[in-house]
Structure formats: structure tokens, C-alpha cells
Structure 1
């Protein structure tokens, strides 16, 4: 699948993959701080942003999408950063194609299985009357019945776009709703990824726990784990400068 992406900067290639319900734009401000030293590829994963939609949606096919992008851009090797769902895509790709990944950064996700915990968000998104929607405020009001957090609502509503006098979701909501279990699936491999890897968690997030260290060490033996202070799961939005500084220090070491 030919993914949509935004390219900026110069230097060694660094590919960034967003999380569930996200898009390439989520990492644009981070990329602006890195473009003097790296060529950034900000990617919309399938069923998100402006990339194509498909009934096939799992980490195997998303890793193959990334391989196709690198081949199309003539990238033989790149640094790879993925957040949450994007982190699992990045881990899957690195384990399957280790020779194509110079250094790996996984942001606030572990390789283990995660039970579904997006039910409320999915109920809210599906409650928005997308076929008859007249305004963004109407969508906000519908989401408010399920989600109180203004930041989360704003993030989700970035997926709403105008089309033919109405609105549509950029995300493939029917497929994501039907296959949401796939987001939590475990990343596994018989052979580890030996290159240098950074797991970057949010100090206030529970996505990477002590119990995850065994799986991390087994699959990524040349890795270390740090936590960004005063940050939750959305560490790049909550502590952008700390995330930028950490990325630079790791990739330049």
C-alpha cells in the first residue's frame, strides 16, 4: 500500500509512526526541531490520515506498508520511531527487517498483549451522526456524551474533515471498530532485534510496566528504558522539548 507521508529536513532518514486515531501531523512540531539533523518521514499509517483504507489492518501488513515506502523512497536503512500503535508497527518491522533499521525508538508501548481499552472512544466516535453532520460543534457535542477530556476530544476531532458539503472521518472507523483487538496484539519473534533500541515511556503512564522488562530484554537485548518526567501516554505532546532532547541524544550517541 502506498502510504501518505510528509518529508522534511536533511541528514540521516528518521521515520516516525503515529498511534491509534492519530496521523503524521501529530509529530510535526517534534519534526521541526529535528529537521536540521535528520531527513524526517512523517507517515500516515493505513486507515489513518490521508493514507488509503483497507479491510486488512494488523501489524504484519502495516510493517509491509513501511517496507514498501522505504523501497519507493530508495531508503536502504533508517532510524525508526513509533508511538503506541506506531511503536508496535516499528517493533514488528525491526524484528522482521533488522537490516533496514539503524536505531529504534519505541514510545510508551511494550511488546506484550494489551486488552481492548478504547470502547468509550469508539462509542463516542460512532455516536457522531457523520452522514448528517452540519458542524464541528455538533460533533463535539456528540463526543461530549462519552468523553469529558477536552484534549482527547480535540485530538479525535482532528480526524474530521469536510467533503462535498458535509463531513467524513479520515480514520476507517468501521474497520477500526470491528478489528480493535488487533491494536493490542502481542509483538513476538523467534529472533531478537540486536541493534540499539530505546524504550521511552511517560513517567505518569502505565503502558510500560516492570513486568514488561523481561519481554523487552528478550526481543530487544541491546535496549534501555527511560521515562520522560511529568508526561503521560502522549509524552510528545505533554513534554515536547524533553522528547526532542532524548531523541537527539540517543540517535547521535
Structure 2
């Protein structure tokens, strides 16, 4: 545990279907600038067999804004949420930045993690790569668009990819001034960016069952990173999803769901 103040995280807590077995819950942790809302279709699929909880990390979604984006801090936030939900142990799935939170949680509190699923991220430091995204969000914050179409034009000044703009637009909410405003803690995220692109926290490897899913068209888990991955997660099975990039759960949702279900059912 760190000395930093715990953030009371928002989450989507979906109980298992009535006919489901009393299986171990699954906790889902989104990536940078994502939220629990991005995972709703997957939640509906997985709740057929178990309780599923998708979290909003600090400075994301409906969770409070707070200084500090160290992985140990975010892992502490998730542990506190599990305590509040009376969840002793869970399967933990994290995508991208959320994958590093999941790795940190598993390394720092392995007794709370039944198994670990990491989606398209390795336990390594990455280069800076979000300047255009931050500039796009700054443009919207300063421009104060009245509509989502106006916001898209502002985002488009910095981001050409429409799918990326649609993803960024999930961070917009209409405020009391009838303006499309950011719900993310952009300033806190930017100040903590060096920690976000850094390595996950924890000194010891996580020895438990681990699945690493990577997109065939994504550079985030390159073959050269596999040795570093195995140092942190020695039991990891690496599965590559064809025709998928970094957002592999959106590019190949059925294949992603099936891979997760097969892994969980084997635990």
C-alpha cells in the first residue's frame, strides 16, 4: 500500500445471471482515457457465468479527480473498491494502462488475484505517444463546443482517425452551461503521464495463472518484449488475435470474449 489517499472509484457492478454458477468475480480495468462504459457489451456476455465489475480509474469516467497516476496508487484504489464490495479474491483483467494496473495489483497483492488477464500491454516503459490526443482534448476544453459534431471538428484538428475521435468523445459530457465538457482529469493525467508510460509497480513476479492477449496488428506486445513479460508473469500464456490492433476487444469482440471465457473456465 502507498501513503497516498485512496480514491473512491466508481464502478459498474453486474451480478451473475440467476442460473449462473457461484463463480469467482471478474474485475475489468480500462485503458488510458477509457472507462467502464467501454466494456458494457462484454459485461453482458460475461455476466452469464459470473459477477462482473468494471471500474473507472481515478481521473477517468465517473471517478473523482486526484493527483498521482502511479500504478501502486491505482492498484490501491482498486483494492479499496474490492473491499467495499466484499470481494476477497477475483480474476483481474486489464487493457493497456489498465493492464499495468492489473499487473501491479497482482504483484503487490497476489492473495487477492485468482488469475490475471492482460490485454495488449507489456510490463515495459513506452515512448511518449499521446501528444496529439492531449492537444485534441485541450482544443475541446478551450473551444467549449455546444454539440458533439462541433467537438468532433475540434478533435479533428489534431487527430485524423475517426475511430480514435469517437473513442475520445466518450469522455465528453454536457455540463450545466450546455457545453460539451471533459469528464476526465486531463491535467492530472498529463502531470502523471511519465508514470503512465513507465513500468508497472511491484518487485516480485506474479506466479498465478496468466493470459496475455495481444493484437496481431499492434506493436504494444512485440516479440522482443516477451522475455520481460515472462520475468513479471512467468506463467503467462500469450495468445495473438488476428485482424486486431491495440483495441483488440473492440476489433475482435467475439474472439476476445471467447479467449477470456476459455481461460476463466479452466481456472
TM-score (norm 1): 0.97
Partner of 2:115: 103
Alpha-carbon distance between aligned partners in 1 of 2:10 and 2:184, rounded to the nearest angstrom: 13
SS state of the match for residue 38, structure 1? coil
Moved more, 232-241 or 180-189: 180-189
Partner of 2:224: 211
Alpha-carbon distance between aligned partners in 2 of 1:73 and 1:60, rounded to the nearest angstrom: 20
Partner of 2:13: 7
- Could you report, residue by residue, the CA deviation over 1:116-142 in whole angstroms, capped at 9, with x for unpaired residues? 101111111111244633222221111
Which of 17, 35, 43 is matched with 2:55 structurally?
Answer: 43
Which of 11, 18, 28 is matched with 2:30 structurally?
Answer: 18
Q: Which runs of 5+ in 2 are unaligned?
A: 1-6, 17-22
Alpha-carbon distance between aligned partners in 2 of 1:188 and 1:137, rounded to the nearest angstrom: 40
Per the TM alignment, residue 188 of structure 1 is displaced from its structure 2 partner at its CA by 5.0
Partner of 2:151: 139
Partner of 1:71: 83
- Could you report, residue by residue, the CA deviation over 1:46-93 in whole angstroms, capped at 9, with x for unpaired residues? 000000100122211100001101111111100000000000000000
Per the TM alignment, residue 167 of structure 1 is displaced from its structure 2 partner at its CA by 2.9
Alpha-carbon distance between aligned partners in 2 of 1:64 and 1:131, rounded to the nearest angstrom: 36
Q: Which runs of 5+ in 1 are unaligned?
A: none
Partner of 1:153: 165
Which of 122, 131, 148 is matched with 1:119 structurally?
Answer: 131
TM-score (norm 2): 0.92
SS state of the match for residue 224, structure 1? strand
What is the root-mean-square deviation in Å for CA atoms of aligned residues?
A: 1.2
